[in-house]
Structure 1
Amino acid sequence: MAASPHSPNSSFRRLRAQHSPAEFAALVRRAAREIGETVSCDARYIGRVESGEIRCPNYAYERVFLHMFPGRTLADLGFSPRETVRGRSAQRALSAASASRPSPHPHPIHRYKESDVLRRAFMAGGSATVAAATLSLTLLGDTRRLPSRAGEAEAAAVEDAVRQIRLLDDRHGADALYRRAAQPLRTAYALLDAGATRQSTEDRLHAGAGELAVSVGWLAHDSGRFEDARSHYAEALATARVSGDAALEAHAFSNMAFLARDCGRPRESVRAAQAGRLAARPLGSPRLLSLLALREAGGWSGLGDRRACEDALARAHTEFARGPSSADPEWMSFFGEAELESLESRCWAALGEHARAARHARRAADLQDPHFARNVALYTAELAQDLARAGAPDEASWAGGRVLDLLTEVRSTRIRSMLAGTARTLVPHQRSPRVGAFLARHAEA
């Protein structure tokens, strides 16, 4: 039987079985790839379905779910008929609800339609150019059209903006997205300033705006705009402190630690990672503690403190081995074994052990799901860099050539900078045919 509004979707929960929400979300994404669909499913989306908040999935999710569970209907999966959720019935219900109580919204039906448009604006496939253009359209894009006070639809639009930025970054890298994402961020904070109809909605807006600030900060970070990134991360941290959101605070500190390391401030990186660990400790997510330990290890390696680095790496592996948890934040969907190997690789490289670093970077590239093109390119660029410094120029050139292949679909200043450094390291070996071919191709690119 279909779930009624706001009642838990027990049918869908039974289908998840023993999988954690994050694990089940990964299965959904895999099923989507099998049929050529694009969905940005994560643990929070699964939670929204199971709580009954999502009464009927969009068409892309519908195709994926029916592919995963052949022979079942949407009703079998616990969803309500689409016409009762998105058609005239839903609009009449919204109007009736608005009429039955005082409301600061003068045009509820118009706001419903507009917010649905806002949520759909990120839902575009195709090239990075199309994706970037999509970001500049209607999603949270015009502060002149904002309601006097934000409701659930606006909170959902902010949350969807975060998911779509992460999805597009995974596929195309940050360079094509950063400037387009700034306007949705400004609008999210304008919604926050306007206030919300309910405290629960305001809490969602705080969390969503903070996560959006982190996401836009990451786009700045990955595209080499370090000062912009620092500003966005600080904005996210301030939002977390104001709203008492420990999960957002831990996320902001994690990214600040990463940025400090990239900016050559390793001691600041250590302090930020340790502050993130304090914020994360009550949350019950071993994977989050593992990531923060890796961030701390990166800072210690930058300081040349091998013992402290090894201690932090040991903590990271211990926490990671505890496995995924329902308490894992949804933004951590990127953090699997491949990312762990990559971050450890960077630690050994900073300590000057390039052959050891290359072994971890190779495992990272091999383990990474090829669907996430940006990370495959990043890990392979790390491998090329480590191999070049370890005295394996031909292997480094092969890896560098693979990165050049991937850069036809990924735009990332970070990756291009790493590859340029590898090319400089390989110049003394340019008489090797393989090295010479790579250098020539890199120069053309």
Structure 2
Amino acid sequence: MVSTGAVPNLAFRRLRGPRSAGEFAAAVRRSAREIGEQVACDARYIGRVESGEIRCPNYAYERVFLHMFPGATLADLGFSPRESVRGRGARTTADTPPPPTLYSDTDEESDVLRRVFMTSGTTTMAAASLGLGLGGTSAAALPDRHRVGEAEVSAVEKAVRRIRLLDDRHGGDGLYRRASQPLRAAYALLDSQTATTRSTADRLHAGAGELAISVGWLAHDSGRFEDARSHYAEALATARVAGDAALEAHAFCNASFLARDTGRPRESVRAAEAGQRAAQPLGSPRLLALLTLREAGGRAGLGDRTGCERAIGRAHTAFERGPCDADPEWMTFFREAELEMLEAQCWSALGDWSRAARHALRATRLQDPHFTRNLALYRAELTWDLARAGRAAEAATAGHQVLDLLDRVQSSRIRAMLAGAAGVLAPQRGAAEVRGFLERHAEVSEAGA
């Protein structure tokens, strides 16, 4: 029998103790920073958990709560199993409509691109941002005298966070077109509206620029390289207009990555060096570490082994200084697993396949399994490096692990990497392990065509 109402989470309420909901929310945010997570927890969120409206937290909150209460499980915290709340249909009967209080954060993630602007703007704004076609409205038709305030800026910032979260789960292919619509709306606000304060204007520029980078990354991940280049250039221009060094560093970081992936290593190095100059006064060693690894990737593409090794060394030195409050929100993905992955790519570009495979294997072992797209990416890199190193059976095993994830991850980049590895392994089809992988890869490729 499916419940028709929310069940209060008394266990979670007991854990809060005498603290107010706001005080507890602040403790959640502090704990998130301790493990490199970013959660926008406030008193309202705590109230939703305690009332039972949120039956199971999303993965970011799960990691934070389990960090706050070592040894506890989600059940100990009063939450329902994720599988019991994941699908709306699973919680209803044929003649019982789904009660709105039973939706979890997991459900919210699934349709956020449809409604992210709905909660904090006019109907015109929503239609323009998501292309709903209400009365033929377009982003350019937003009212000239609309004043941009907290609601609109928060909507842009929320769109950035949610798009990144969905990308972590599913990759860029299925998200890019939908994500482009809120981006157009954000830039329509910049072009035609008046912000209420200087702080609001600065946040709007930063939010629109970060949204451009996020959408550019979706284009990059789905093989739309010219679109990605355009979005990154748009973000860089926004950063320059606003005098926003943090946004400029981020735009250069992604532009360097794109240049490396599209066979322009010298441009990759120049963009990474420009990003380091922009990031220098920001006080984030981790940001400098990532930008230095981008430089290393470009130098590897140039065949400059000495320059690459020096850059990797500088990156490790900066990374080991640890996280700090100055680290940008978008860098939550940059942990030890990503460091290992980027180093693996450098050695791969230099043709040191065995060394690359060692780092790629470390990346797969260190990666949080909830970051599904990156786990598939790391395993694809491992498959490629093992194949080029002549370790065919191990490569086939790693390739199967990538295929296991492709029903959840839509990334042209990952599929291309796996196809390249399959091509390297093809001459060794006589081995049973290799043949099994190649046959399965062919089936999956044909189904996804």
In structure 2, relative to structure 1, the CA distance for the partners of 1:239 and 1:122 (3 Å cut) is farther
Deviates more, 1:192-201 or 1:134-143: 134-143
Equivalent residue for 1:23? 34
- Residue of 120, 124, 127 corresponding to 2:108: 124
Instruction: Give the superposition deviation at 1:199.
Output: 1.2
Equivalent residue for 2:326? 327
Matched ranges for 1:178-193 at <5 A: 178-193=176-191
For the residue of structure 2 that corresponds to 1:304, the secondary structure is coil
Instruction: Give the superposition deviation at 1:231.
Output: 0.2
Residue 124 of structure 1 aligns with an amino acid whose one-letter code is E
For the residues of structure 1 that align with 2:208 and 2:117, how far apart are their CA atoms? 18
For the residues of structure 1 that align with 2:402 and 2:29, how far apart are their CA atoms? 37
Residue 402 of structure 2 aligns with an amino acid whose one-letter code is V
Matched ranges for 1:97-176 at <5 A: 124-126=108-110, 138=126, 140-141=129-130, 143=139, 144=141, 148-176=146-174
How many pairs does the alignment contain?
Answer: 364
In structure 2, relative to structure 1, the CA distance for the partners of 1:133 and 1:333 (3 Å cut) is same
For the residues of structure 2 that align with 1:351 and 1:286, how far apart are their CA atoms? 26
In structure 2, relative to structure 1, the CA distance for the partners of 1:192 and 1:131 (3 Å cut) is closer
Query: Deviation string for 1:239-259 (max 9, x for gaps)?
Result: 001011111000000000000
For the residues of structure 2 that align with 1:3 and 1:189, how far apart are their CA atoms? 39
Q: Is the contact between residue 22 and residue 333 of structure 1 (CA under 8 Å) also seen in structure 2? A: no
Matched ranges for 1:23-422 at <5 A: 23-24=34-35, 26=37, 42=38, 45=40, 54=42, 56-57=44-45, 124-126=108-110, 138=126, 140-141=129-130, 143=139, 144=141, 148-193=146-191, 194-422=193-421
Instruction: Give the superposition deviation at 1:206.
Output: 0.5
For the residues of structure 2 that align with 1:433 and 1:134, how far apart are their CA atoms? 49
In structure 2, relative to structure 1, the CA distance for the partners of 1:242 and 1:58 (3 Å cut) is farther
* Percent identity over paired residues: 60
For the residues of structure 1 that align with 2:49 and 2:306, how far apart are their CA atoms? 48
Instruction: Give the superposition deviation at 1:16.
Output: 6.1
Which consecutive residues of structure 2, in runs of 5 or more, have no partner in the other structure? 1-17, 70-103, 119-125, 131-137, 445-449
Give the TM-score taking structure 1 as reference length.
0.76
Q: Is the contact between residue 123 and residue 164 of structure 1 (CA under 8 Å) also seen in structure 2? A: no
Q: Is the contact between residue 344 and residue 360 of structure 1 (CA under 8 Å) also seen in structure 2? A: yes
For the residues of structure 2 that align with 1:16 and 1:333, how far apart are their CA atoms? 14
For the residues of structure 2 that align with 1:235 and 1:264, how far apart are their CA atoms? 21
For the residue of structure 2 that corresponds to 1:57, the secondary structure is helix
For the residues of structure 2 that align with 1:3 and 1:59, how far apart are their CA atoms? 10
In structure 2, relative to structure 1, the CA distance for the partners of 1:333 and 1:270 (3 Å cut) is same
For the residues of structure 2 that align with 1:361 and 1:186, how far apart are their CA atoms? 37
Instruction: Give the superposition deviation at 1:191.
Output: 1.2
Give the TM-score taking structure 2 as reference length.
0.75
Q: Is the contact between residue 16 and residue 24 of structure 1 (CA under 8 Å) also seen in structure 2? A: no
Residue 243 of structure 2 aligns with an amino acid whose one-letter code is G
Q: Is the contact between residue 260 and residue 268 of structure 2 (CA under 8 Å) also seen in structure 1? A: yes
- Runs of 4+ in structure 1 displaced over 3 angstroms? 1-4, 9-17, 58-70, 120-123, 130-140, 142-147
Q: Is the contact between residue 169 and residue 409 of structure 2 (CA under 8 Å) also seen in structure 1? A: yes
Equivalent residue for 2:3? none
Q: Is the contact between residue 135 and residue 177 of structure 1 (CA under 8 Å) also seen in structure 2? A: no
Query: RMSD of the TM alignment (CA)?
Result: 2.8
For the residues of structure 2 that align with 1:181 and 1:405, how far apart are their CA atoms? 26
Instruction: Give the superposition deviation at 1:161.
Output: 0.2
Residue 152 of structure 1 aligns with an amino acid whose one-letter code is E
In structure 2, relative to structure 1, the CA distance for the partners of 1:344 and 1:202 (3 Å cut) is same
**RCO comparison, higher one (Cα < 8 Å, 6+):** 1
